[in-house]
A and B are shown apart, each in its own frame.
Chain A
């Protein structure tokens, strides 16, 4: 059983489109995250949710909107996609805010 699963694995789309990435964890964790890994492999936190409540919202354009319908799910919706949004997006979860994180397999987003 996959602990943290995210879909789709690959996403290729054109500038200006809106897309969503879904994430689910079956570990019973309270905290879920979205991280962005750029072409230089730097992992940067975007959002974290604890018990469905937004805890961290780093300097991310408001075109990015996370949604957590329950503790096991954290989805990411992106409006008006731009070329600079191309990256790998990782969902992760942890028991609580102290870590450690368990990562999903990533979604490689390519905006053309």
Chain B
């Protein structure tokens, strides 16, 4: 059974701090990794994608991937109250044309003013 694990939180950080969100996955053949943000009552919104080991930065967001450790993380610098949401890690192994994006259960982030 392919699994994606995240701490459910809530993770509470003060405004301006760095929020660190972590995700592990069980399928060593996974090839694509995504972070989605979901506000309450809204649909998931893609904020980062990463495909190779290392860091990828986009504005205040940095995704980090370590395939050997089967670990992917998201750092949010200078956290703002508007970053308060549930963050979903998603992983796909598209070997054999059976691409199947598997989501973790999400980490709820609360940024306190």
Residues of A in contact with B (beta carbons under 8 Å apart): 31, 33, 40-45, 48, 50, 55-56, 90, 94, 96-106
Contact = CB atoms under 8 A, between A and B. Distances in A.
B32 A41 contact: no
A102 B90 CA distance: 13
A92 to B, nearest CB: 8
Nearest to B44: A103
B44 A55 contact: no
Range for the number of chain B residues in contact with chain A: 20 to 34
Contacts, number: 66
B27 to A, nearest CB: 14
Given A40-B105, A41-B106, A96 B99 contact: yes
Contacts of A98: 31-32, 92, 94, 99
B105 A97 contact: no
A105 B44 CA distance: 9
Nearest to B40: A41
B105 A99 contact: no
Interface centre among B42, B49, B99 (most CB of A within 10 A): B99
